[in-house]
Amino acid sequence: MTTIGVFDSGLGLTAFAHAIHRAAPQADLVLAMDPDFAPYGRLSGADVTKRALFSARTLAQHEPDAIVVACNTASVNALPALRKEFKIPIIGTVPAIKPAAEAGRPFAVWATPATTNSEYQNELIGKFAAGLDVHQTAAFGLAQAIDAADPVSIRAAVAQAMADTPEGITDIVLGCTHYGLVADVIRAARPGIRQLYDSHGAVAQQTLHRLGLKPSPEAQPTGRLRHVYLSGRPGELPAAVGAYPAGQALLDIAV
């Protein structure tokens, strides 16, 4: 039986774990969130690395075949340390700037304030979108509102981020793993949106590739969500996860 570990500071891992389950429904999942230290955007790079290692070590108790870092901030800061310590595949998360650039249209990158205009994000834009009109938007408070499943705060944070995004831009890269959970709210805030670029599908495919597995969405869904950890403590998925379809799907396979 294949076991895949997934971690994030909060609910951002939800869509990623669900995408993995859809692609490999016979694989078991083990999840780790870190509510005591969320959001990671307020921590130093060194502290993010410490927390990422802590979560990965927590998952490692169950001998997973791979670990997915379902967090942009943790991927930026901690991948080298994680890959040095663990010999299993460690799959990071990268904003979908490359596919957005391939469309050839102006686009925005929504991210946490800590990631917006960071050296890492600027390097990705320079590498894949040189010469294109790219606007970086800090989505203040959106990840926290999503963790709380607070619809009023979510709509307010989305409205502010959209107001900070030039009107002519109709493509948006979702540069935080949380944001895909509220894609419908983002689309509703600007009816002219053509494309939202998220990365959970690509990360799920990369995870299976690294494990030598082929996507088998039609297979019998025997995989289960076996364990959930909250800052290292055994627990359950937060109630807020049920506010999102991907989260409800995880609740349905939890044991």
CATH code (residue 78): 3.40.50.1860
Q: Does the pLDDT of residue 120 top 90, yes or no?
A: no
Structural domain count of the chain: 2
Instruction: State residue 178 phi and psi, 5-degree precision.
Output: -70, -35
176 in active site: yes
pLDDT tens sequence across 189-244: 999 999 999 999 999 999 999 999 999 988 899 999 999 999 999 999 999 999 99
Query: Which region among 49-58, 110-119, 136-145, 221-230 has the lowest average model confidence (pLDDT)?
Result: 110-119
Q: Is 71 a catalytic residue?
A: yes
Give me the domain span that covers residue 222.
Answer: 3-93+200-252
How many separate helices (H) and strands (E) can be counted in the chain? 10, 10
Per-residue confidence band for 169, with pLDDT thresholds at 50, 70 and 90: very high
- pLDDT for 14 equals 98
Which one of 178, 197, 216 terminates a domain?
197
| pTM higher than 0.85 | yes
Average pLDDT for 113-121: 86
Last-in-domain residue among 169, 197, 225: 197
Residues 48, 68, 71, 139: which is the catalytic one? Answer: 71
Token digits of residue 88: 């299993």
The residue annotated as part of the active site, out of 43, 76, 176, 228, is 176
Distance CA 193, CA 205 (A): 26
Q: Does residue 83 share a domain with residue 106?
A: no
If asked whether residues 117 and 192 sit together in one domain, one would say: yes
- Given the structure tokens 């991948």, which residue do they identify? 79
Confidence band for 117, pLDDT divided at 50, 70 and 90: confident
Are residues 146 and 67 part of one domain?
no
